[in-house]
Amino acid sequence: MKNEFKVIADLIEKDKKVLDVGCADGTLMKYLKDNKNINIRGLEISKYKVQECIAKGLTVIEGNAEKDLKQFPDKSFDYVVLSQTLQAFLNPELVLNELLRVGKKAIVTIPNFGYWKVRFHLLLKGTMPVTKTLPDEWYNTPNLHMCTIKDFVYFVKSRDIKIFKSLALNNLNTSLINEGNLGIKNLFSDLGIFLIEK
Amino acid sequence: MDIEKHIKTLIVKKPLKLDCGKTIKDFPIAYETYGSLNSKKDNAILVFHALTGDQFITGLNPITKKDGWWSYAVGPDKAIDTNKYFVICSNVIGGCMGSYGPSHKNPDNNNVFGTNFPVITINDIVNAQYNLLEHFGIDKLFSITGGSMGGMQVLQFISNFPAKAKTVIPIACTSSHSAQNIALNELGRQAITADSNWKDGNYTSNNTSPSKGLAVARMAAHITYLSKKGLQEKFGRKLQEREDLKFGFDADFQIESYLRYQGSVFVDRFDANSYLYITRAMDYFDLTKQYKGNLSDAFKNTKAKFFIISFTSDWLYPTQENKEIVIALNSIGADVGFVEIESDKGHDSFLLDVPDFLNALKNFLDKSYIGN
């Protein structure tokens, strides 16, 4: 399991109710169910991946976060997880609001467009950045609204969303982001993980 | 046809008050079982059949001599694995495969009921079937499942008996019969009642039957079970055993011949009055209305795990109608999974060899059973 999921799992206490939005093949869900006794649900847009989840015995709803989150009642989950998908929605703000409505807290991870490799790629090569975390070309990427760790922090602050914890990931290294090191973390991390609440 | 020796029946002694106000008692429910009930009695699956189905789910149907209607899904090592599970299916009341219906005799006057049989509902149907649990001494079913009208019975059953099933799998169905569905059923009923042999439902006394009307009803319904794409790919404009158009009204096209055949084989196995009664039960089905406009209330007392399945090309019970059930369940925080299966086979997909569907069904059941 990738480091990102381990970090997410560490943010969640045992026996909680969790919704994994864009749960893909259910790797994180299965880990949370087996290791933390989490009452876990998933929402996934790909039929193929929904089938993989069912084969793992996971409860998953085929659907689209932009349309299908609205059926869940307010604060019906302790945590709602959104891993590296926020930038792929037509309206990320709407999805973020929905995550914070449905979940008491939300865990959102974003691929950091401020990462130095991304910046260098554009600066030196002059073409759209392709990295390990952002493997697609400009013409086939699902990402519509790329942002940096700094963008995300500024955005949630402007919307009065509380940040409980901000973590920066660079390969296997995890570190805390604070106001003093935001610029540095924004340069040296390829992923940001945020525990937020509204 | 020596029906009786092939049909197992449970005589329900307890009176059952029907939605129409009448009460029936000492009535037969014809059923079949597959696999065996384990000692803990926790491996039973109750399957509900669709409009023209019956209790013979899999293997050879002893009456029609054809494969059971859900042979792709039910059997040893299949999605509903009879090596593992004890599968029960019964003929709905109002039906014509041994359960109490319009072709039975009215005990009050010894005449065949015909249209004097009380109008029944999906609620009546599942209340009658509930007696099978007591018959087998099953406290809680491992699962209940069915497609189309079978799915409606699944929904009604779990709302009537919230503690009696661990898992619930409604397939290609709806919580409320739509105007389009009522319209299509009415077309079938009109075809039957317009047949001069129908005789207000008293055809058995004349030893005739409205087979032309029933065949037309079946032909019309059969079209609704398929998709446009499926029909086009299978038949297109292919001609039936001829080089060119004949400029007449014989079956020039293969699709015409196919539908005529479907109509003709149907009338051999199905009773016209049963068709009227069962389609009526479907039309009256409105679980949302039963719970005063809030479908979620139908499920608020159950802890069962739901898995809802729809098909992309099903325009009779489209995904949106299945999703309304998912939404109602999610709004009360129920345990519900949902998948829409990609298939060109229309509403009939649940009856056919659609591997994605059969795998999902098998995986859901087997993984849920491990936790038993």
Is the Cβ–Cβ distance between B34 and B87 less than 8 Å? Answer: yes
Is the Cβ–Cβ distance between A164 and A196 less than 8 Å? Answer: yes
CATH number at residue B38: 3.40.50.1820
Contact B326 A61 (CB under 8 A): yes
Mean predicted confidence (pLDDT) in A66-82: 96
CA dist B145 and A177 (Å) reads 51
Dihedral, A46, A51, A57, A60 alpha carbons, nearest 10 = 30
- B68 and B12: one domain? yes
B8 forms bridges with which residues in the sheet?
A: B31
**Tokens 């079209």, residue located:** B223
Catalytic residue among B54, B252, B314, B344: B314
Helix, strand, coil fractions of chain A, as percent rounded to 5: 40, 25, 35
CA dist B280 and B276 (Å) reads 6
- B154 and B16: one domain? yes
Is the Cβ–Cβ distance between A104 and A162 less than 8 Å? Answer: no
CATH number at residue B224: 1.10.1740.110
Q: What is the DSSP string of B282-341?
A: HHH-BHHHHTTT-GGGGGTT--PEEEEEEETT-SSS-HHHHHHHHHHHHTTT-EEEEEEE
**Tokens 């554009």, residue located:** A122
Residue B102's nearest CA partner among B199, B31, B253, B204 is B204
The residue out of B259, B278, B297 marking a domain boundary is: B278
> Helix, strand, or coil here: B182?
helix
Residue B145's nearest CA partner among B331, B305, B333, B354 is B305
- B291 and B169: one domain? yes
- What lies within 8 Å, CB to CB, of B220 at 6+ separation is B184, B187, B188, B191
Least CB-CB distance to A71: which of B330, B339, B363?
Answer: B330
A60 CB neighbours in chain B (<8 A) are 337-339
A122 in contact with B, Cβ within 8 Å: no
pLDDT tens, position by position, A147-165? 999 999 999 999 999 999 9
Contact A51 B342 (CB under 8 A): no
Contact A55 B363 (CB under 8 A): yes
> Helix, strand, or coil here: B228?
helix
Is CATH 2.40.50.100 correct for A3-112+146-197?
A: no
Record the tokens describing residue A105, joined without a space.
Answer: 């807290």
Contact B326 A72 (CB under 8 A): no
- B19 and B132: one domain? yes
- B300 and B312: one domain? yes
**Tokens 């381990």, residue located:** A6
B338 forms bridges with which residues in the sheet?
A: A61, B308
CA dist B326 and A115 (Å) reads 41
How many domains does one find in chain B?
2
The residue out of B243, B262, B278 marking a domain boundary is: B278
Contact B337 A61 (CB under 8 A): yes
Is the Cβ–Cβ distance between A32 and A23 less than 8 Å? Answer: no
DSSP H or E stretch at residue A38: none
Q: Which domain holds residue B272?
A: 182-278
Rg from Cα positions in chain A: 16
- B160 and B293: one domain? yes
pLDDT tens, position by position, A77-116? 999 999 999 999 999 999 999 999 999 999 999 999 999 9
Catalytic residue among B71, B148, B159, B349: B148
Contact B336 A61 (CB under 8 A): yes
Percent of chain A predicted with pLDDT > 90: 97
pLDDT tens for the 372 residues of chain B, in order: 456 788 999 999 999 999 999 999 999 999 999 999 999 999 999 999 999 999 999 999 999 999 999 999 999 999 999 999 999 999 999 999 999 999 999 999 999 999 999 999 999 999 999 999 999 999 999 999 999 999 999 999 999 999 999 999 999 999 999 999 999 999 999 999 999 999 999 998 888 999 999 999 999 999 999 999 999 999 999 999 999 999 999 999 999 999 999 999 999 999 999 999 999 999 999 999 999 999 999 999 999 999 999 999 999 999 999 999 999 999 999 999 999 999 999 999 999 999 999 999 999 999 999 865
> Helix, strand, or coil here: B127?
helix
- For residue B74, the model assigns a pLDDT of 98
- B347 and B241: one domain? no
Residue B295's nearest CA partner among B120, B121, B92, B158 is B158
Residue of A nearest to B365 (CA): A57
Long-range contacts of A24-31 (CB under 8 A, 24+ apart): A24/A49, A25/A49, A25/A52, A25/A53, A25/A56, A26/A52, A26/A53, A26/A56, A26/A58, A26/A60, A27/A1, A28/A1, A28/A81, A28/A83, A29/A53, A29/A56, A29/A58, A29/A60, A30/A56, A30/A58, A31/A1, A31/A5
Residue of A nearest to B330 (CA): A72
- What lies within 8 Å, CB to CB, of B109 at 6+ separation is none
- For residue B18, the model assigns a pLDDT of 98
Range B134-155 burial, b when 16+ CB lie within 10 A, else e: eebebeebbbbbbbbbbbbbbb
- B173 and B321: one domain? yes
The residue out of B278, B300, B317 marking a domain boundary is: B278
pLDDT tens, position by position, B18-33? 999 999 999 999 999 9
Contact B367 A50 (CB under 8 A): no
Cα–Cα distances (Å) from B25 to A8, B15, B104, B106, B128, in that order, read 60, 4, 13, 12, 10
- For residue A172, the model assigns a pLDDT of 85
Do β-strands B74-75 and B141-147 pair in parallel, antiparallel, or remain unpaired?
unpaired
- For residue B1, the model assigns a pLDDT of 46
Least CB-CB distance to B339: which of A62, A72, A73?
Answer: A62
- Annotation marks residue B347 as catalytic: yes
Where along chain A do its domains lie?
3-112+146-197
Is the Cβ–Cβ distance between B291 and B323 less than 8 Å? Answer: no
Record the tokens describing residue A20, joined without a space.
Answer: 């994994």
Residues belonging to chain B with any Cβ–Cβ distance to chain A shorter than 8 Å: 305, 307, 326-327, 330-333, 335-342, 356, 359-360, 363-364, 367-368, 370-371
- B186 and B305: one domain? no
CA dist A76 and A57 (Å) reads 22
- Annotation marks residue B314 as catalytic: yes
- B223 and B362: one domain? no
A76 in contact with B, Cβ within 8 Å: yes
Range B335-358 burial, b when 16+ CB lie within 10 A, else e: bbbbbbbebbbbbbbbbeebebbb
Whether this model's ipTM surpasses 0.90 comes out as: yes
